[in-house]
A and B are shown apart, each in its own frame.
Chain A
Amino acid sequence: MDQLEALKKEWQSREQVFPKFTAEQIYPMLLKKSSSIVKWIVIISLCEIAFWTILAFLIPDSVNEFNNEMGLKTIYTVLNVVNYTVVAIFIFLFYKNYQKIQVTGTIKELMGNILRTRKTVRYFVYYNIGLATLLMIGINIYYYFNKEKLYDLFSQNELPGIPPEAFFSSFFIGQFVVGIVFIGFLMLFYWLLYGLLLRRLKRNYKELKKIEV
């Protein structure tokens, strides 16, 4: 490759002209904040973990009371204990992966570690969406088999005078629609957020992997 060799020769023999930064200009640069992708991934990941953890606290008391009366108290307590253990494990894994991100590693290591950190949080989100979906399906099946109790509780408090059939069809359709919209919205949000943030990194990682094949 003659032209590349020529460029290489010139590249080294001639000095390339750039605007030189003086030490006085470099000092303030040390104080500036980084805007690296890692910083954003950490911020967003922590927000995700916080979001799913806080969500559990935001469920209104009336819902909890309602579930207690439906006879779901024990199962909810067990689920809560399991859930917090899983959250703790995820936070630990996330922290471990984050620690491995080193700008002084090889290009491949750095990319691999960032993607692994991201993957941990993605699994955390999958876990939450999966759990929410299963819970919703499970509860609705439970409701269905305890229809009378459900109707009694509702007609006592909120919906006096509605015939049972109309109540059941609108109740279950409502549950279904809200569930689908919620999950669809979350998926769109993640697709947009990480699609944009990680597109270039993934492309480069793939490129690097291809060299090894």
Chain B
Amino acid sequence: MTKELEHSFVSQLEQNQNIVHKICRLYTHDSESHNDLFQEITIQLWRAYPKFRGDSKFSTWMYRVALNTAITLYRKNKRKVQTQDFEGISFKMKSEEYDSTVEDQLKLMYDAVKTLNDIDKALVFLYLENKNYREIAATLGITEVNARVKMNRIKEKLRTILNP
């Protein structure tokens, strides 16, 4: 039974690991902390897994546990002072042509998002993942109206960062 549970968990995590990676990248600054956070999120997911009833999608459930771990439970390693992103932003290009201007703008935007505080980052992340305001509000534990207002303020903040 435990083996079965373990097997289904690992295969689901393997399939959905990109969600965890995206969160790790937003909340850490080097590959070592990235992997460290990934490890901690995996432990938290595994611990909570027996209570996962499947009434929501595995990935939906995962957003919550992963963000909770990144924002609340994970203790940032203060020893490292590196702030450089470990491999720059790398979106795999699907199209043939490579537009460096678009790429640069995206990178600037991404860097701006990374300067936000932990809570704002979570809102933007869920927004980028195409979650609606109801889901965003439910993950954070705030009302839908407040989530909407907050998101507008964050957009304003990002605009100021990008166009000082």
Contact = CB atoms under 8 A, between A and B. Distances in A.
Given A7-B109, A29-B43, A212-B142, A16 B48 contact: no
Interface string A103-114: 111111111001
Interface residues on B, range: 35 or more
A107 B92 contact: no
Nearest to A11: B128
Given A17-B92, A108-B142, A38 B71 contact: no
Interface string B135-164: 000111111001101100001001100100
B48 A104 contact: yes
Contacts of B130: 8, 12
Of B42, B108, B130, the most chain A CB neighbours within 10 A belong to B42
A33 B42 CA distance: 11
Interface stretch (A18-26, A44-52, A154-162, A175-183): A18-26
Nearest to A39: B73
Contacts of A33: 43
Given A18-B18, A23-B14, A106 B140 contact: yes
A27 B6 contact: yes
A116 B139 CA distance: 20
Interface stretch (A55-63, A64-72, A91-99, A203-211): A203-211
A40 B73 CA distance: 10
Contact of B140 (A20, A35, A108): A108
B61 A104 contact: yes
A107 B122 contact: yes
Query: DSSP majority for the A interface?
Result: helix
A15 interface: yes
A201 B128 CA distance: 24
Interface of B: 6, 9-11, 13-14, 17-18, 21-22, 25, 38-40, 42-44, 46-48, 51-52, 61, 64-65, 67-69, 71-76, 90-94, 102, 105-106, 108-110, 113, 117-120, 122, 124, 127-130, 138-143, 146-147, 149-150, 155, 158-159, 162
18 contacts: A7-B109, A16-B25, A17-B92, A23-B11, A29-B43, A30-B6, A30-B43, A34-B40, A35-B40, A106-B64, A106-B140, A107-B67, A107-B140, A197-B75, A207-B120, A208-B142, A212-B143, A212-B146
Interface of A: 1, 3-4, 6-8, 10-18, 20-23, 26-27, 29-30, 32-38, 40, 102-111, 114, 197, 200-201, 203-204, 207-208, 211-212
Given A7-B106, A14-B94, A23-B11, 10 more contacts: A4-B124, A14-B93, A16-B92, A26-B13, A30-B6, A34-B47, A105-B64, A107-B72, A110-B73, A207-B118
